[in-house]
Amino acid sequence: MESELRRRADHLGNRAVHNPWTERLARLGYLAKGVVYAVVGVLALQVAFGTGGQTTDTKGALATLAQSPLGTALLAVVAVGLVGYVLWRVVQAWMDPDGKGTSPKGLAQRAFYLVSAAIHTALALAAFRLVLGTGGVGAHGDQSARSWTARLMAEPFGQALVAIVGLVIAGVGLWQGYKAWKEKFRHKLRLDGMSPQHAEWAVRISKLGILARGVVFVMIGTFLVQAALTANPRRARGLDGALETLAAQPHGTLLLALAAAGLMAYAVYMALEARYRRFLGA
């Protein structure tokens, strides 16, 4: 019985991998994720230049989109795209089209895909709530980080768990930096579809974007470790808090502008993934 269920599951997974709609939805998903990060970056850049804006996270970016002209229509596309991204992450974890394998490193990467799917499921639901007018995006940014940190700390060994989560997030950030430095994303893109000059600029912008996101992850992870060590959930901070912290440093305007530019570069990288990513071993 178990083997039959597994066979059927593998069959369904194989059909999903080779269904042309899987690729289409995945490409739309990368583009939707890029739109969200572009909004975060633009708003932060406005703060740095003193022309308005705000430091916010991805859910806050959705709320900003909802207030823009054509907000409902744009949000609907983003919401569908995020669902496509979630489905693609599940396929990546389940059927392993990228060939990560079953080594400890490969399984860790595939487990990360599932975590990413869960995070973007929450983001997609927030987008749909805004589209349908059934409520806002809920707690986000620092408020969300402090809320779940406090709940986790209330559990047995809660401080240790928060510290572990913080170390994992910081580790992901460091891996992002390594990925950018070694250009490990390059083989995923069909750069032969561009001129050599355009391809080189695409790689440079992608490296900047991935590195900037990695730095933000390291900061968020560090805040969580500090919260665990001090048993103070208020030390936890989200993406908006990380950007605010940069702004509060000496030369904070420059640091915030660089971070904002980096997040916008990450949005460009997502657009490149949407257009040029290799799928299904191609």
Predicted confidence pLDDT, tens digits, the chain (282 residues): 556 555 655 555 566 666 778 899 999 999 999 999 999 999 999 999 999 889 999 999 999 998 887 788 999 999 999 999 999 999 999 888 888 888 998 999 999 999 999 999 999 999 999 998 876 666 667 788 898 899 999 988 899 999 999 999 999 999 999 999 999 999 899 988 788 999 999 999 999 999 999 999 999 999 999 999 999 999 999 999 999 999 999 999 999 999 999 999 999 999 999 999 988 644
Token readout for 96 is 């392993």
| Cα–Cα distance list, 238 to 24, 77, 97, 187, 265 (Å) | 31, 25, 32, 31, 20
Rounded Cα distance, 127 and 144, in Å: 16
The predicted model scores a pTM of 0.91
pLDDT at position 6: 59
Burial code (b: 16+ CB inside 10 Å, e: under 16) for 163-200 equals: bebbebbbebbebbbebbeeeebeeebebeebeeeebe
Q: Say how far residue 23 (Cα) sits from the centre of its chain.
A: 19
Q: Please count the CA atoms within 13 angstroms of the CA of 272 that sit on its side-chain side.
A: 28
C-beta separation of 245 from 239 below 8 A: no
Short-list 210, 269, 68, CA closest to 76: 68
Q: What residue spans define the domains of the chain?
A: 2-276
pLDDT at position 201: 95
- DSSP 8-state class, residue 1: -
